[in-house]
Chains A and B, each alone.
Chain A
């Protein structure tokens, strides 16, 4: 089966600019997650979707981050405006059940 697709692979922006990341989960996976992975740390959950509804967004900095999952398939994560500390790898994952996490390759964001 095809994996979790993410784009772009890399992005460099200046602080205060906006940026968007895209994720296409594995076909049929109802649950989709966005994680932030800062260099040298483990992934930290930003938001969890079940179909097109938000299950958990308690760790999402809502003053600058937003995410949506239209029609319960693809998802976008947006940052506006970006800060230097947002530099990280943004990982998307999907699953059909609690154990079946599959991660994408991530988008490496550098904010300068």
Chain B
């Protein structure tokens, strides 16, 4: 089955810096890559996603890039703010499936 590796497990940055979280996947049939943000005591919330026919997608301060050849994708957060502090999960899903495989998560800490 699909295996998703996520790095780093913890990321600490100063407010205003950029943060990058990287994921790799194993199954070349995966074609949908969502990113979730999980705040303390809450369920994961979808923040951005990308499909395999697109190399990059941006939404205000967050962007996601996808390299299908290398089977890796990344989340980029610019001008980080304390409210960006949370656990971020990447995931990969095959076509025809409803079920994504999640990475282990990255705890992002933004220091004011």
Question: Residues of A at under 8 Å CB distance from B?
Answer: 4, 31, 33, 40-45, 48, 55-56, 91, 93, 95, 98-99, 101, 103-106
CB pair A105 B42 closer than 8 Å: yes
Partner of A48, one of B6, B89, B98, B105: B98
Q: Is the CB of A42 within 8 A of B102?
A: yes
Given contacts A99-B34, A106-B42, 11 further A-B contacts (CB under 8 A): A42-B4, A42-B6, A42-B102, A42-B103, A43-B102, A56-B99, A98-B98, A101-B34, A101-B46, A103-B43, A105-B41
B14 at interface, CB cutoff 8 A: no
Interface string of B30-60 (1 = CB under 8 A from A): 0010101000011111100100000000000
A residues less than 8 Å from B21 (CB atoms) = none
Q: How many of B's residues come within 8 Å of A, CB to CB?
A: 23
A31, A44, A103, A106: the one contacting B98 at CB < 8 Å is A31
CA distance A101 to B105 in the complex (A): 18
Cβ contacts under 8 Å, A56 to chain B: 99
Q: Smallest Cβ distance from B49 to chain A, in angstroms? A: 7
Residue interface bits B86-112, CB-to-A below 8 A is 1, else 0: 000101010001111011110000000
